[in-house]
Structure 1
Amino acid sequence: MLKGLAITPPTVGRISIGRVVEKNGKRLPEKDDQFTLTTQVINRGEWVLHPLNETLRKATTGKLRSIPVRMLFNDPDLNLRAEYSLFDRRTGRPLCVGNGETCKRVTDGGITTMDCPTPDGCAFGEAGGCKPYGRLNVTIGQEDELGSFIFRTTSYNSIRTLSARLQYFSAVSGGLLACLPLELKLRGKSTTQSYGSAIYYVDLGVRAGSSLQEAITQARELNTTRQAAGFAQAALDAAARVGFANGAFEDSIEESAAVAEEFYPAESGHDRSHDDGHDDTGGPAASGLKARLDKRAALLGGKAA
């Protein structure tokens, strides 16, 4: 295993809400009120749709607002990884990642471990727009049971809701989270920050037409079948845990490009969270952000690389 390289779940596609479109020569975020499944390939500036996108749409009479999924791991924190993250908006590469207690920050001397006071109490994070950033990996369909679709989000609503659901489903199923038949659901709500308009976030529930008790029964049956076949779920969780810990940051250089495309379209200079309803937060342009980061970092004793 290459040291310094986080080994993450194999990804076969993306789950997104909204997209980036070209308008007047600029690539700008455009929100949506439904899911879209894409491959990891961009063609002519657009993410190529995954075949499952059309398959799932044919199974619904309206917009794609629910997706049947299973979790890869029994440990909730392996399925959804969420941290406070500050990115270089030009490249999407992480500059600082923390959990509210400690963080890893890029400095002239390399990656340094520091205290993490959360974005509200961090001068460095305040300068650059540090915020929660989550990645959820789920399996869809039966074609590749260890391949996953990734949903990236900077939405407080999605991260908080998904975290709670995963913990609760793990608890009530007796730790059989990976065997539960679940579905991602798109929900809408209005807040004072959205000025009364609907914003959309992602939730997790049992599949339509099934009760929680029925889902737990199915999970126990699947777990028994897997154990009889020699499927070692605990070993899979352990391998994933080691893989995630193998690198300082989870996102690779290639994945950083996707982060920049989804949340920080370079031409617009605006921040974007596809599913939290706050399309344009008026973030500074990349050059201004870099200058502010350098200034803050110098004050804190470590200039951001």
Structure 2
Amino acid sequence: MLKGLAITPPVVGRISIGKICEKNGKRLPEKDDQFTLTTQVQNRDGWMLHPADQALRKATTGKLRSIPVRVLFNDPDLNLRADYSLFDRNTGRPICVGNGETCRRVGKDGNGIESLSCPSPDGCAFGQQGGCKPYARLNVIIGEEDELGSFILRTTSWNSIRALSARLHYFRAVSGNLLACLPLELKIRGKSTAQSYRSPIYYVDLGVRSGSTLEDALRQAQELGARRRAAGFDQAALDVAARAGFANGAFEDSPDEQAAVAEEFYPNATPDREDATDGASTDTSAPAPTTLRDKLERKAVLLGGAAA
């Protein structure tokens, strides 16, 4: 294993609930109220759709607002990695990553990695200057073709991070550490807040699959867990291997993920923090609007994106 290189779950596709569009020469986030599954390949029109996207849409009527999934690991923090993150705007490489207590930061002139205290973005002068904010990555399995290949959802949405983290920890607790065996479903939920000017915002949540109860899901998890153990599947060893792989590098994001990081952190728009969309978020380092005209203009952008 190469030292200094984070070994992350194999990714076969991306999940988003938004996209970046060109408007008047600017790259602006366009919100959506449904999921989109893409490959990891971009063309002039953006990320190319994954075949699973069309397959899931055929199985539903209307918009794609739920996706049947499983997770790879029993440890919730391996499935969803959330940090306070600051990236270089030019290279897309991480500069500082922390958890609210400690952080790893690139040293001056790019020399080495320093371990420092992390007061969170609101209390960190270094983070406030560069646009540090919560950033999470969720890996899930979609379909049965590749049981170790995953789709990744990247998000800077506080709502999504809170909901997903809580659900993963709760499901592990009630299942008796059978989280990876539970038949789950990613869902789009909406809410309105004062920060969104009462217009709807959308975030990602996790639950048992539609048409099923928690008791049904628990029984299925127990049955799958028994079959896996009988076949020699060692879930505990998989979790250990994943934990060692993440710990092998100072930062999870690699240079070849620059496009995804830039799209998440630095598009040319500044909606409110609570309104960040998954896979098409916004740069919150710019100042908030202070005049009524600014607020009305921002609201018009938000409403225009929500209707798209």
Q: Same fold (TM over 0.5)?
A: yes
Q: Which residue of 1 aligns with 2:105?
A: 105
Deviation of 1:275 (Å): 3.8
Residue 23 (structure 1) shift: 2.4
Query: What is aligned with 1:66?
Result: 66
Match 1:115 to one of 114, 117, 140: 117
Amino acid at match of 1:145: E
Q: Find out whether 1:255 has 2:257 as its counterpart.
A: yes
Which whole-Å CA distance do the structure 1 matches of 2:279 and 2:231 have between them?
Answer: 42
Residue type of the alignment partner of 2:112: G
Q: Is 1:5 matched up with 2:9?
A: no
1:89 aligned partner: 89
Show the 5 A alignment for 1:190-201: 190-201=192-203
Say yes or no: does 1:274 pair with 2:277: yes
1:149 partner letter: F
CA contact (8 A) 1:120 1:126 kept: yes
SS in 1 for 2:206: strand
**Match of 1:166, SS?**
helix
Task: Look up the SS of the partner of 2:73 in the other structure.
Answer: coil
Give the residue type in structure 2 aligned to 1:84: Y
SS, match of residue 228 in structure 2: helix
Change over 3 Å in CA distance of 1:239–1:278 after alignment to 2: closer
Given the alignment of the two structures, is residue 210 of structure 1 paired with residue 212 of structure 2, yes or no?
yes
Contact 2:131 2:284 in 1 (8 A): no
For 1:241 and 1:209, how far apart are their aligned partners in 2? 34
Structure 2 residues not aligned, in runs of 5+ = 288-308
Aligned equivalent of 2:150: 148
Deviation at 1:257, TM superposition (A): 2.5
How far did residue 280 of structure 1 move?
6.4
CA shift at 1:95, angstroms? Answer: 1.1
Q: Give the Cα separation in 1 of the matches to 2:286 and 2:91.
A: 15
CA deviation string 1:240-299 (max 9, x = no partner): 00000000000000113211023313xx26589324997564738xxxxxxxxxxxxxxx
For residue 164 of structure 1, what is the aligned residue in structure 2? 166
Are positions 1:137 and 2:150 aligned together?
no
Following superposition, the deviation at residue 45 of structure 1 comes to: 3.9
Instruction: Measure, in 1, the Cα distance between the counterparts of 2:185 and 2:21.
Output: 28
1:40 alignment partner in structure 2: 40
* Amino acid of the structure 2 residue aligned with 1:128: G
Distance 2:269 2:221 in 1: 46
CA deviation string 1:162-215 (max 9, x = no partner)? 000000000000000000000000000000100100001110000000000000
Q: Does 1:181 align with 2:146?
A: no
- 1:24-78 deviations in Å (ceiling 9; x for gaps): 3333221111100000000114100000001111111111110000000000000
List per-residue Cα deviations over 1:79-122 (Å, max 9, x = no partner): 00001111123332211100111100112232111001111211
Other-structure match for 2:17 = 17
Residues 277, 46 of structure 1: alpha-carbon distance in 2 compared, 3 angstrom cutoff: closer
Q: What do residues 109-157 of structure 1 show as CA deviations (whole Å, max 9, x unaligned)?
A: 3211100111121111111221110000000000110000000000111
Say whether the 8 Å CA contact 1:200–1:277 is kept in structure 2: no
Q: Structure 1: which amino acid aligns with 2:239?
A: D
Give deviations 1:4-29, integer Å, cap 9, x for gaps.
Answer: 00000000000001111222333322
Q: 1:224 to 1:278 in 2, by over 3 A?
A: closer
Using the alignment, how far apart are the partners of 1:269 and 1:278 within structure 2? 9
Give the one of 228, 231, 241 matched to 2:243. 241
Q: Distance in 2 between matches of 1:191 and 1:277?
A: 19
Q: 1:282 to 1:96 in 2, by over 3 A?
A: closer
Output the CA distance in 2 between the equivalents of 1:282 and 1:230.
50
Q: Please tell me the residue identity of whatever aligns with 1:192.
A: A
- The number of equivalent residue pairs is 282
Q: Matched residues in 1 for 2:280 and 2:252: separation?
A: 26
Q: CA RMSD in A?
A: 1.8
